[in-house]
Structure 1
Amino acid sequence: MAKLADVFSEKERTNWLKSWLAIDIAKSGLQHLVKTEAQNFHSSIYTSIFSMQTPLVCCSTANLLTCPTPKVCKIWRKTCSMHDPASNYTRPCPVNICDKVMGQIANNHRYRGPSWKCTSAQRWASHPWEIAKCYFPEDGYDKQMSFEDTDFNGIISFLLNFKPFDQRFSFSIKQKPTDPACLLTKARDICKAVRHTSVCKVTDIDLNDYFTTLTDLLGDPTSLAHDSSAQDAVIKLQQLKQDTFKITTAEMCNGLKEAQQILQKVEHTAEEAIDEIKKYILTCTDDIKSQTGICKEEILYSRDQCKTEIVTQTVSCKKILDSHTTTCKNEIEKKTNTCKNEFDDHIIKCKSEFDNNAAKYKEELKEASENVLHFITVDEYNPCNYELAREGKYIILFYTFRWFLEKYERNKTGILLI
């Protein structure tokens, strides 16, 4: 038999290995309870749905989920990681069976958030563990096909999330945020602490707490205290704690192998995450370049369109302006010709009236002159005749002045004053 102290020279590293072995022992103690509940739940679902009929395999998990489903669907460039290609599109179950099974799974989840990524609906009818996986953590359990393939963290998650386990423990699994952690939560925290330590060391105090928590869990009086597998595990935990546990080299190798696999799984998950981030960055970079090119082309196209539109509008406006200018020019010329004709007609009319009045005044002036001369020649020394002659002279001057005044006014305004 090999001794654990022979593996590491540091006690805290030996404690870390003991912690892994304690977790593995506790898992074996939960095997009967967990497998029985998974089988019973599977049987109850299909018995109630089929009523002794043979189950049919008809739908994939993607067919049953709407898109997008939170924490499942990843949409990129209008493509869903879950629902593409078309065979995975959401659709009702043709025989109305898978939808009912899915509803039962969701109703029995404590937080109504089953891990749909971990399960395959096509295996629900024939594999009870495939339904149990709906209550596991969201990532890393899609390929675990049995209890033996599943790690302690997955088993504890099943116990925490599956509501029927409320009847199998003396303590309350569903707790408020302010309540102390239950034994299942403490057991899960042990697994996380041992798995995620960077130095692979556990102190004596922490190790004793681990043994106490796991022993109390397996000794719960409601169900596990009466379970032979659980009680065998309790005995092994006591022996491991007291360094009297007889472990074979093969068992030690299995424990180390499991610890190594967990570490490799964590490392692999980190590498996958890094690779995925790198791919995403490259995809985003390519997409940005592509969109930049598209935007540049659209900008250039819009610029050319605007330029063409400006030229078109300029030509159109020029044509409209030229047409309007021509119309105005023609209208001005038309009005000018009309005014010129009217002005010429008025000039002719005024000239005619002037000539008529001039002849009239000329005759009147001639007649007046003759009368004046007649008075003057009759009796030059007659005072009366002298006065008449003087008045006639004034009359001649008056008409002569009027005639020249009217001629002046006609030449200035083109209007004859009568």
Structure 2
Amino acid sequence: MAHQLHLEKEKYRQWAKAGLGLGYSKEGLAPFCDDVAKQQHKDILDNIKQTKNISTVTCGQCALKTLKPDHLKIGKNQCPLGQVNCNCCYTSGKIACPNNACGAIYDDIITNHASSPPAPYWKNTQTQQWTGDPWSIAKCFINAPGYDQKTSSADIDCSGLLHVIINNKYFHNHIQCNLAGANVFSKVRQYRNEIFHSGTMELEKAVANNYIDDMIAVLKDGKELINRKDAQDAVTKLEELKNKDFVVTTENMEKVLGDVREETGNLRKLTGLATKDDRVNLKRKLSAVESLMSELKEVVKRLKIDDSALKNNRSTKSQN
């Protein structure tokens, strides 16, 4: 059977191990990201209360397309915060927030975006939720499609969480690693593509272990993550993946399949938004991931059949 041939191949087991490692990394990062996102949201609202001299920050009425920022353009259509195509440069039809809040939040998101020029991914957010939902702000720092309907860190994959950490200057204050230029956080973010866009579902053991070593390094960052139980529990799982013989089971393959299914959805959205030139390459990637998902579904299906047969065999033996 095809699935049995996969399970017997060492390189396939190493690929599955690396895919599962991404899931463990997400488990270790999600609570940390949730705490920092909530603190950033609180600080933004507290700053608005202080600077605007208001007791409560609430809105829910503003739309991104028509929102007038607090900052003003300089010169001829030049944003002082450096954002390209900023709302400040196209003032016709722009409306100031009636509750004196959303323009300031818009400014804060741009100021905290770490790219140069700053480039928040506005398609992932709903401005109407900014004053009440920390992740509506945090998702602006995920520079990839597919996260617009996500409502918490628990809904966001490892790659998305790493986007938030890398692209959000506020998070940099909670990380010891220098996130400018080449760094282990950016390397792990890239691993998702290398693992899930693989057409062979194979990895050398040394490569898989290197991936896992970098995932561990992220979760052992010396500023805060090193002292968080959830992060270090994930490190324990990752170390076990690396140091013990990895056995492919129904449970762990279902976890990998869930991540691949999510990657497929993200690629479909990205393909729909892409320019004509980019669409060909994205369709190729999407086809590879869809093929991968189909193969994994078959593996999980056969594993479940094997599990059922094993249970029935045990039950028969116990009755005899």
The reply to whether TM is greater than 0.5 is yes
Aligned-partner Cα distance in 1 for 2:107–2:159 = 25
Pairing 1:110–2:111 present:
no
Question: Which SS does the other structure have where 2:155 is aligned?
Answer: coil
Go from structure 1 to structure 2 and tell me whether the alpha carbon gap of 1:244 and 1:192 turns closer, same or farther (over 3 Å shift): same
* Residue 169 of structure 1: how far off its partner (Å): 2.3
Go from structure 1 to structure 2 and tell me whether the alpha carbon gap of 1:56 and 1:71 turns closer, same or farther (over 3 Å shift): closer
Aligned-partner Cα distance in 2 for 1:65–1:32 = 34
Aligned-partner Cα distance in 2 for 1:258–1:229 = 20
Task: Tell me which protein shows more helix as a share of its residues.
Answer: 1
Go from structure 1 to structure 2 and tell me whether the alpha carbon gap of 1:265 and 1:99 turns closer, same or farther (over 3 Å shift): closer
Residue among 99, 105, 112 paired with 1:101 = 105
Amino acid in structure 2 at the alignment position of 1:107 = T
* Residue 20 of structure 1: how far off its partner (Å): 1.1
Deviation string for 1:342-370 (max 9, x for gaps)?
xxxxxxxxxxxxxxxxxxxxxxxxxxxxx
Q: How does 1:114-133 map to 2 (within 5 A)?
A: 114-133=120-139
Amino acid in structure 1 at the alignment position of 2:110 = A
Aligned-partner Cα distance in 1 for 2:68–2:248 = 47
* Residue 34 of structure 1: how far off its partner (Å): 0.6
Residue among 48, 64, 69 paired with 2:67 = 64
Aligned-partner Cα distance in 1 for 2:21–2:266 = 20
Aligned partners of 2:57 and 2:131 also within 8 Å: no
* Residue 236 of structure 1: how far off its partner (Å): 0.2
Deviation string for 1:380-400 (max 9, x for gaps)?
xxxxxxxxxxxxxxxxxxxxx
* Residue 95 of structure 1: how far off its partner (Å): 2.9
Deviation string for 1:118-158 (max 9, x for gaps)?
11100111111110001001422212222122121111110
Pairing 1:201–2:202 present:
yes
Go from structure 1 to structure 2 and tell me whether the alpha carbon gap of 1:268 and 1:17 turns closer, same or farther (over 3 Å shift): farther
Alignment correspondent of 1:90 = 94
Aligned-partner Cα distance in 2 for 1:242–1:19 = 13
TM-score, with structure 1 as normaliser: 0.55
Aligned-partner Cα distance in 1 for 2:267–2:195 = 12
Aligned-partner Cα distance in 2 for 1:273–1:62 = 18
Alignment correspondent of 1:353 = none
Question: Which SS does the other structure have where 2:62 is aligned?
Answer: coil
Aligned-partner Cα distance in 2 for 1:117–1:273 = 11
Amino acid in structure 1 at the alignment position of 2:194 = A
Aligned-partner Cα distance in 1 for 2:265–2:243 = 30
Amino acid in structure 2 at the alignment position of 1:62 = K
Q: How does 1:116-155 map to 2 (within 5 A)?
A: 116-155=122-161
Deviation string for 1:39-64 (max 9, x for gaps)?
00111111221353151222011122
* Residue 29 of structure 1: how far off its partner (Å): 0.6
Pairing 1:52–2:55 present:
yes
* Residue 265 of structure 1: how far off its partner (Å): 4.1
Aligned-partner Cα distance in 1 for 2:10–2:237 = 20
Aligned-partner Cα distance in 2 for 1:121–1:267 = 24
Aligned partners of 1:22 and 1:240 also within 8 Å: yes
Amino acid in structure 2 at the alignment position of 1:237 = L
Alignment correspondent of 1:250 = 251
Aligned partners of 2:68 and 2:96 also within 8 Å: no
Pairing 1:161–2:162 present:
no
Alignment correspondent of 2:219 = 218
* Residue 240 of structure 1: how far off its partner (Å): 1.1
Aligned partners of 1:19 and 1:210 also within 8 Å: yes
After TM superposition, the structure 1 stretch with the greater mean CA deviation from structure 2, 31-40 or 48-57, is 48-57
Aligned-partner Cα distance in 1 for 2:245–2:63 = 50
Aligned partners of 1:5 and 1:14 also within 8 Å: no
- Aligned CA RMSD, in angstroms, stands at 3.1
Go from structure 1 to structure 2 and tell me whether the alpha carbon gap of 1:40 and 1:255 turns closer, same or farther (over 3 Å shift): same
Alignment correspondent of 1:190 = 191
Alignment correspondent of 2:34 = 35
Aligned-partner Cα distance in 2 for 1:258–1:171 = 27
Amino acid in structure 1 at the alignment position of 2:206 = I
Taking CA–CA contacts closer than 8 Å with sequence separation of 6 or more, which of the two structures ends up with the larger relative contact order?
2
Question: Which SS does the other structure have where 2:230 is aligned?
Answer: helix
Seq. identity, %: 25
Question: Which SS does the other structure have where 1:168 is aligned?
Answer: coil
Aligned partners of 2:66 and 2:94 also within 8 Å: yes
Is the radius of gyration larger for structure 1 or structure 2? 1
Question: Which SS does the other structure have where 2:196 is aligned?
Answer: helix
Q: Provide the aligned length of Structure 1 versus Structure 2.
A: 255
Go from structure 1 to structure 2 and tell me whether the alpha carbon gap of 1:257 and 1:95 turns closer, same or farther (over 3 Å shift): closer
Unaligned runs of 5+ in 2: 70-76, 78-82, 277-320
Go from structure 1 to structure 2 and tell me whether the alpha carbon gap of 1:264 and 1:59 turns closer, same or farther (over 3 Å shift): closer
* Residue 10 of structure 1: how far off its partner (Å): 2.1
Q: How does 1:291-330 map to 2 (within 5 A)?
A: none
Amino acid in structure 1 at the alignment position of 2:67 = L
Q: How does 1:252-267 map to 2 (within 5 A)?
A: 252-263=253-264, 265-266=266-267
Go from structure 1 to structure 2 and tell me whether the alpha carbon gap of 1:24 and 1:43 turns closer, same or farther (over 3 Å shift): same
* Residue 19 of structure 1: how far off its partner (Å): 1.1
Aligned-partner Cα distance in 2 for 1:95–1:189 = 40
Aligned-partner Cα distance in 1 for 2:273–2:99 = 39
Aligned-partner Cα distance in 2 for 1:5–1:239 = 24
